[in-house]
Structure 1
Amino acid sequence: MVSLPFIIALLSMIGPFSIDTPFPAFSLMAREFGVASTEMQLVVTVYMAAFAVMSIFHGPLSDAIGRRPVIVGACAVYALASVGAALSPNLAVLLVFRAIQGLSAGGSTIIARTLVRDLYDGEQAQRLMSQVSVIFSIAPALAPIIGGLLLQVGDWHLVFWFMAALGLFLIAAVCVMLPETHPVERRTPLRIADLLFGLAQVFRTPDFHRSAWAMTFAFGGQFLYIGGAAIFIGELLGQGELDYWKFFVPMVGCLMLGGVISGRLGRRVSSTTIVTWGLSFSAVASVVGVVIAMLAGPHLPWAVIGPSLIALGVGAAYPNQNLLILDLFPRRRGSVMSAATFTTLMFNAISAVTITPLVGGSVVTFALAASILVLLGLSFWVWHLHATRDRRPVG
């Protein structure tokens, strides 16, 4: 059990890892396929939209047949899709396999967080979720670095061959090291009507929507930079394929620090309070980011201060928000996590192809858009606190 947080974190990492790893290769792929950089944003959008759609089903399916079968099956499909992406002759074919990657990646990413709540309660769950979040946070920084290094020894196809190998490794890790955490007596019937009923029950709950949209908008302010990294780092900051670490390392470092702070505070502060503090900090940080962008322009290290500080607050709030949302429906935790993931990913997929091109002209417009999103997230959370003030706190 000592290595369990690491295994769970590896499973949860595959989602963000698959978004960021191809970023350094975007310019090479665009030239080979004869497309513009804005069209390459579809590589992000198609993956995330497919991830979001399938996320609705991964959780309920694991509630019905167990966590391990869903994770292993999803990783196998992911590995095959990565092989197809590596062999793609044009952008259209690549997008098909990116969609299949997205459809399968949630089988590990979504269920990994459900494993935490299956195994632990109270302070233990909060601490483990924070540990997983810290390890999970490495993915956005590590992925583009690995992508850039792979390009030094091969072409862009090697990036997707690496993803295929990752899928096979995760299958082996699950089969050898991960126990089944959802026993037969706790499973729900494997009926489409029942699965849809569970999801409908979640989606018609106001508490869920206020909480889920609070984190969706707050994380959306950070993800705006992640999803638009090829534009922000490559075009606005003028950095090369090996320079993505200059943005991702400080931002992810702050995200990890937020997770560490959350774990330490969890011993004496409620999850609700930590979420409030984290989102408030991110809101202030987003405004600071706008001011810095206006004064310093597209220059390092100033350009990364705003998004990094936003990540610090989000890193503290996110694991606690997951626990609070999971506790809304203890018997349908898979459905709850699927619904929350669907909400966040679908929004980010749409923003990657709509908001990012609109704000991609300068670091100031990036910062303004991020600030608006984070402030919206804080507003939804304040609304949730107001609506539930006369009830016992969730979680």
Structure 2
Amino acid sequence: MNKLTTVILAGLTMVGPLAIDTYLPSFHAIGQDFNVSQVLVQQTLSVFLFAFAFMMLFYGTLSDSIGRRPVILWSLAVYTAASFGAAFAPSFGWLLVCRAVQGLAAGGGSVVSRAIVRDRASGSEAQRVLAYIMMVFGLAPAIAPVLGGWLHVAFGWRSVFLFLGGFGLLMFVVCYRALPESLPRTARHPFHPATIVKNYWMVLSHPRFLLLALAMGIAFGGFGLYIGSAANFVMNILHLPETSFGWMFIPMISGMTIGSALAARFAARFAPLKMILAGQLIMAIAAVLNVAYNYFFAAAVPWAVLPLALYAFGVALATPAMTILALDIFPENRGLASSLQSFVQMLVFAVVSGVVAPMLFESAFKLACGVLTVLMLSVVFWHLGKPRGIAR
């Protein structure tokens, strides 16, 4: 797979994280502008995430039937329109609807990009490419809230959605001109409802696939707790201004970027199970340190965010190998498998950030305990679902 395609696929996976994180510094201003509570403003994130997760169920199947390229282009077009609609929202209800449409459209690129990687690469090469994509993708949550904070201060919260619309339009043009189709017509599945239902059931009824998908999704849930709590964590717990979200996101995403780079470097050198075990051990150390720090000390930078960087490092180290192991269970239905894998991950992320985070975001110690809890659940699911009889 050439470098340009890898960069384009990484850009596609940035669409969703940008839509999630860029407007976080504007939460309080949106509430004041529309005269609604912060609990209601939080629903603009929850609605986006649930719509994002729901539509992921279908992108892979559509791409298996009509090709990867049309699905990506149509999803980008709708996402761009919804982003501009949110920028000019005359009411909170309108903003909520636009966020839902954004969520429905934002996942096309991230789902289909995984299938494209497996269309064009296999084994350690596919694992390496996925790691590089994660490395570029990891820049989005680091840049997004920092950029969003400065856009908000300089031009107001609506400029954030104008930026998201501009990024969607840019990705549409780039994909239209430079992203070729990776699934030949001869390899596509007929779009018959009975066949589609049968394939969904085949994947959903496979215990090992579901356990692996849950293990990945729940591990990412640790990020969901802090992302869903970002406004409260940065401004109320750390007592920092709207332009300081980088204190939380830059260390976190730096850890993910470094972990992804090492995962790519070591993909051909170490067996997948060893990479996953190393990642889980690092996540466990980070989660325990996070709980210990917040038990004994009041949260303050930089110490309150350093365990998040280490946790992100562990996640990035383990995720490419776990992704490949899950997708390879269904080599003839990689688009569908990628859809369901992404759906499980985003559904867990939505529940954690939209439902669990509001229960914990008043306390740094509670957030730390939440991360440790979700990691323990992730490890349990991994050990129940991990493949037997492959190289260690």
Distance 2:234 2:83 in 1: 25
For 1:75, the equivalent position in structure 2 comes to 76
Quote the offset at 1:364 in angstroms: 0.2
Contact 1:279 1:377 in 2 (8 A): no
Contact 2:221 2:349 in 1 (8 A): yes
Distance 1:44 1:193 in 2: 34
Distance 2:384 2:208 in 1: 10
Contact 1:290 1:306 in 2 (8 A): no
Residues 42-90 of structure 1: per-residue CA shift (max 9 Å, x gap): 1111001001111000011001000110000000000111111111122
Distance 1:358 1:89 in 2: 30
For 1:104, the equivalent position in structure 2 comes to 105
For 2:121, the equivalent position in structure 1 comes to 120
Distance 2:91 2:231 in 1: 19
Q: Which amino acid aligns with 1:319?
A: P
Task: Provide the identity percentage.
Answer: 35
Contact 2:228 2:358 in 1 (8 A): no
For 2:162, the equivalent position in structure 1 comes to 161
Where do 5+ consecutive residues of structure 2 fail to align?
Answer: none
Distance 1:197 1:234 in 2: 49
Is 1:366 the counterpart of 2:391? The answer is: no
Distance 2:322 2:156 in 1: 40
Residues 190-244 of structure 1: per-residue CA shift (max 9 Å, x gap): 1222222222111100111111111111110122112221121122111111100
Distance 1:5 1:356 in 2: 34
Distance 1:103 1:268 in 2: 39
Q: Which amino acid aligns with 2:200?
A: L
Query: Matched residue of 1:35: which SS?
Result: coil
Query: Matched residue of 2:153: which SS?
Result: coil
Q: Which amino acid aligns with 1:208?
A: F
Paired residues, what number?
391
For 2:233, the equivalent position in structure 1 comes to 232
For 1:336, the equivalent position in structure 2 comes to 337
Query: Matched residue of 1:73: which SS?
Result: helix
For 2:265, the equivalent position in structure 1 comes to 264
Contact 1:114 1:333 in 2 (8 A): yes
Contact 2:251 2:308 in 1 (8 A): no
Distance 2:48 2:258 in 1: 28
Where do 5+ consecutive residues of structure 1 fail to align?
Answer: none
For 2:131, the equivalent position in structure 1 comes to 130
For 1:48, the equivalent position in structure 2 comes to 49
Quote the offset at 1:393 in angstroms: 6.2
Query: Matched residue of 1:298: which SS?
Result: coil
Quote the offset at 1:283 in angstroms: 1.8
Query: Matched residue of 1:269: which SS?
Result: coil
Is 1:204 the counterpart of 2:205? The answer is: yes
Query: Matched residue of 1:199: which SS?
Result: helix
Q: Which amino acid aligns with 1:22?
A: Y
Residues 77-114 of structure 1: per-residue CA shift (max 9 Å, x gap): 00111111111122221111101001001111111122
Q: Which amino acid aligns with 2:4?
A: S
Q: Give the CA RMSD over aligned residues.
A: 1.4
Distance 2:243 2:197 in 1: 45
Contact 1:218 1:314 in 2 (8 A): yes
Quote the offset at 1:152 in angstroms: 3.3
For 2:89, the equivalent position in structure 1 comes to 88
Write out the 4+ residue segments of structure 1 that deviate beyond 3 Å after TM superposition. Answer: 391-394
TM-score by length of structure 2 reads: 0.97
